[in-house]
């Protein structure tokens, strides 16, 4: 064996297996480098001077040798990308092999160069990658979720088909930004916020969108995504998953709607109950009023009349007294005279003369006040009710009442009007005037020494008309608000209010099948809103509350049935 040449050294250090066969010497191996030793598991000492038949089983050796002969005959280069090669270790390996025929100067083939790279590790890695991709693919094809990718401009580039997802047409996804599609709208956020987040390359979770398909059907999706970085930190776009949440959304909606209905029903029930309590209070006060009015008016009748007569009597008496006084100088007995003067001073006759008329005037005023209270009580029981329902312009009602109370209001407040032009409603106009009057007077009374504002508004929809009286006055605490409709409840000083105004108004509004509501904050003024049906129901006019209750109960039962499946699920 000769000393290794420079070429031998180079070849020995190549990572590629290199062998050289001598065509002229029965294809015996003349060169076998270190990489070949490692790859085939054959030491150089064993390989050199041997041919394939010496090294490998016969079938394998025949195939190899045939291929060698074929290449020498055909000439050129033979290349195999994936060839199974035997090893002396036992397991065959997969190699990338290149065979070249080498020729001498006369063109005669002399040697066969075989170089090979071990591809086993690379091929195994490729296989693993393929398997992983297949798993990934079937995961997204079988799942109801889907995978998507966007480029750096957030345009759709890739999307798997969720097994259960009726995906939006590809044309609306590929090459487009989500917000460019008018049929897509965000549910739990805004496009602006979402775009800002994408621009900042932030991940997002459960961003919900609503998609209207071409056939008008509605679907909801939930999207989660994160930025992708390629080649280090270079932003490459977004990728993420999507999920169809239409069924969940619809169930949620229906549940929410059902819940809202229940809340509304509950509110109506408690309002109706309040009304029942209130109307019961009013009914008993009305009955009381009918009886009491007669009993009170009789004594007031004669007391009032007697005071008038008494005034006359007293003026007669005073006239007589004056006459006596004038006659005093003619009295001959000085003791009598002195006694008279002493008596006069003791009883303060001059004071009596000035005070008695005042006393009588005050007493008469007091009786007049009792008379007003009884009159208000009688208004309650409404036995003298002879009014006719008529269609009347609500605006006119408000304006005429404003004229009536203008004197009382104009020094305390500015009146701001915002009235709907003409709203004809079925009403008892004079009773409605009474309600408006009470609200206006109360508003004026609520305003303190400083000048305030009273705002009167009105409006209507197809079924109801409403008006409101808002003041900038002192407002009411919750406790006071709870009692304002109670008969005889008043916050005004004694003598200024009978405490019947609002309960009377309540009764009138109820008779109109409407409602009166109060909104007040202490220090921030009060707003009363009266809502009245534009047309009065005639058939059920007598039992509206009872009918309402029955309707409410039915609606509640129906709603409960509707909700049941959701609650179970």
Give the closest residue to 398 by CA, choosing from 454, 350, 324, 329.
Answer: 454
Pairing of strands 413-418, 452-460: parallel
Least separation, in Å, of the C-beta of 295 and another protein?
8
The residue range among 65-73, 156-164, 293-301, 430-438 that interacts with another protein, by the rule CB under 8 A, is 293-301
372 scored as a contact of another protein (CB under 8 A): no
302 scored as a contact of another protein (CB under 8 A): yes
User: Site map for another protein, 308-347, x if CB under 8 A?
Assistant: xx-xxx-xx-------------------------------
Least separation, in Å, of the C-beta of 301 and another protein?
4
Nearer residue to another protein within complex by CB, 384 or 479:
384
Nearer residue to another protein within complex by CB, 24 or 369:
369
243 scored as a contact of another protein (CB under 8 A): no
Least separation, in Å, of the C-beta of 286 and another protein?
13
Q: Which of 161, 294, 483, 537 binds another protein (CB under 8 A)?
A: 294
Q: Which of 96, 210, 371, 566 binds another protein (CB under 8 A)?
A: 371
Pairing of strands 452-460, 464-471: antiparallel
378 scored as a contact of another protein (CB under 8 A): yes
- DSSP string over 478-546: HHHHHHTTSTT---SPTTT--S-HHHHHHHHHHHTT-EEEEEE-TTS-EEEEEEEESS--STTTT-HHH
The residue range among 249-257, 290-298, 322-330, 355-363 that interacts with another protein, by the rule CB under 8 A, is 290-298
**Cα 299 to Cα 291: distance, rounded to the nearest angstrom:** 14
Give the closest residue to 534 by CA, choosing from 480, 458, 455.
Answer: 458
306 scored as a contact of another protein (CB under 8 A): yes
431 scored as a contact of another protein (CB under 8 A): no
290 scored as a contact of another protein (CB under 8 A): yes
**E-strand spans in 409-451?**
413-418, 424-427
**Cα 181 to Cα 345: distance, rounded to the nearest angstrom:** 105
Nearer residue to another protein within complex by CB, 386 or 388:
386
Give the closest residue to 177 by CA, choosing from 161, 159, 157, 163.
Answer: 157
Least separation, in Å, of the C-beta of 499 and another protein?
21
300 scored as a contact of another protein (CB under 8 A): yes
SS3 track for 4-51: CCHHHHHHHCCCCEEEEEEHHHCCEEEEECHHHHHHHCCCHHHHCCCC
**Cα 520 to Cα 443: distance, rounded to the nearest angstrom:** 12
The residues in 213-242 that bind another protein, with binding defined as CB under 8 A, are none
**Main-chain phi, psi angles of 458, to 5 degrees:** -150, 160
CA 149 from chain center: how many Å?
Answer: 32
Name the strand (E) or helix (H) holding 169. Answer: none
- DSSP string over 442-479: HHHHHS-SS-EEEEEEEEE-SSEEEEEEEE-S----HH
Number of residues that bind another protein (CB under 8 A): 29
- DSSP string over 248-273: HHHHHHHHHHHHHHHHHHHHHHHHHH
Nearer residue to another protein within complex by CB, 212 or 300:
300
357 scored as a contact of another protein (CB under 8 A): no
The residue range among 35-43, 298-306, 443-451, 525-533 that interacts with another protein, by the rule CB under 8 A, is 298-306
Pairing of strands 17-22, 109-118: antiparallel
Least separation, in Å, of the C-beta of 300 and another protein?
4
User: How many C-alpha atoms does 59 have within 13 Å on its Cβ side?
Assistant: 1
Nearer residue to another protein within complex by CB, 192 or 385:
385
Nearer residue to another protein within complex by CB, 166 or 299:
299
Contacting residues for 154 by C-beta, under 8 A, at least 6 apart: 177, 178, 198, 237, 238
Tokens of 101: 């025929």
Nearer residue to another protein within complex by CB, 2 or 386:
386
52 scored as a contact of another protein (CB under 8 A): no
Which residue matches tokens 């025929």?
101
| DSSP assignment letter at 328 | G
Least separation, in Å, of the C-beta of 313 and another protein?
8
Least separation, in Å, of the C-beta of 318 and another protein?
11
Least separation, in Å, of the C-beta of 440 and another protein?
28
Nearer residue to another protein within complex by CB, 223 or 374:
374
Least separation, in Å, of the C-beta of 308 and another protein?
4
The residues in 379-418 that bind another protein, with binding defined as CB under 8 A, are 383-386
Tokens of 529: 């809103």
The residue range among 173-181, 291-299, 507-515, 553-561 that interacts with another protein, by the rule CB under 8 A, is 291-299
**Cα 423 to Cα 427: distance, rounded to the nearest angstrom:** 12
Least separation, in Å, of the C-beta of 426 and another protein?
22
Q: Which of 179, 191, 304, 318 binds another protein (CB under 8 A)?
A: 304
Nearer residue to another protein within complex by CB, 276 or 303:
303
* Interacting residues toward another protein by CB under 8 A: 290, 293-306, 308-309, 311-313, 315-316, 367, 371, 378, 383-386
């Amino acid at each position: 064996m000769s000393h290794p040449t420079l070429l031998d050294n180079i070849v020995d250090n190549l990572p590629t297996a290199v062998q050289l066969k001598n065509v002229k010497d029965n294809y015996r191996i003349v060169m076998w480098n270190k990489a070949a030793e490692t790859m085939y598991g054959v030491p150089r000492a064993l390989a050199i001077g041997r041919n394939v038949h010496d090294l490998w089983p016969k079938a394998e050796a025949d195939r190899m040798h045939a291929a060698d002969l074929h290449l020498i005959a055909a000439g050129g280069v033979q290349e195999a990308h994936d060839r199974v090669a035997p090893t002396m270790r036992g397991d065959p390996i997969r190699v990338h092999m290149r065979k070249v025929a080498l020729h001498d100067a006369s063109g005669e083939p002399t040697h066969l160069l075989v170089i090979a790279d071990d591809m086993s590790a690379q091929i195994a890695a490729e296989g693993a990658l393929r398997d992983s991709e297949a798993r990934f693919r079937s995961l997204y094809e079988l799942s109801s979720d889907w995978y998507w990718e966007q480029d750096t401009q957030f345009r759709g580039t890739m999307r798997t088909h969720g097994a259960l997802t009726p995906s939006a047409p590809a044309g609306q996804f590929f090459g487009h930004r989500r917000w460019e599609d008018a049929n897509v709208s965000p549910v739990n956020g805004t496009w602006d916020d979402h775009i800002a987040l994408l621009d900042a390359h932030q991940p997002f979770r459960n961003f919900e969108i609503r998609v209207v398909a071409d056939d008008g059907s509605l679907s909801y999706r939930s999207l989660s995504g994160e930025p992708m970085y390629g080649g280090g930190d270079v932003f490459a776009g977004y990728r993420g998953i999507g999920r169809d949440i239409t069924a969940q959304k619809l169930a949620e909606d229906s549940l929410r709607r059902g819940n809202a209905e229940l809340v509304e029903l509950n509110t109506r029930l408690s309002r109706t109950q309040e009304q029942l309590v209130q109307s019961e209070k009013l009914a008993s006060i009305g009955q009381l009023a009918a009886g009491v009015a007669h009993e009170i008016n009789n004594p007031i009748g004669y007391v009032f009349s007697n005071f008038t007569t008494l005034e006359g009597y007293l003026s007669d008496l005073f006239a007589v007294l004056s006459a006596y006084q004038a006659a005093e100088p003619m009295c001959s007995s000085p003791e009598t005279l002195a006694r008279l003067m002493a008596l006069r001073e003791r009883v303060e006759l001059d004071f009596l003369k000035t005070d008695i008329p005042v006393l009588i005037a005050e007493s008469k005023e007091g009786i007049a006040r009792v008379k007003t209270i009884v009159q208000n009580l009688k208004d309650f029981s409404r036995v003298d009710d002879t009014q006719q329902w008529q269609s009347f312009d609500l605006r006119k009602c408000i304006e005429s009442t404003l004229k009536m109370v203008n004197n009382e209001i104009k020094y305390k407040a500015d009146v701001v009007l915002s009235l709907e032009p003409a709203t004809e409603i079925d009403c008892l106009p004079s009773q409605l005037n009474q309600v408006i009057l009470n609200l206006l007077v109360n508003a004026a009374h609520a305003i303190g020494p400083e000048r305030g504002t009273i705002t009167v508004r009105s409006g209507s929809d197809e079924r109801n008309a409403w008006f409101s009286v808002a003041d900038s006055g002192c407002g009411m605490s919750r406790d006071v608000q709870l009692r304002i409709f109670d008969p005889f409840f008043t916050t005004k000083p004694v003598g200024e209010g009978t405490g019947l105004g609002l309960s009377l108004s309540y009764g009138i509004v109820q008779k109109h099948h409407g409602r009166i509501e109060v909104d007040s904050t202490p220090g921030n003024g009060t707003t009363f809103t009266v809502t009245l049906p534009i047309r009065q129901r005639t058939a059920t006019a007598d039992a509206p509350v009872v009918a309402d209750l029955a309707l409410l109960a039915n609606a509640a039962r129906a709603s409960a049935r509707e909700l049941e499946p959701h609650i179970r699920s």
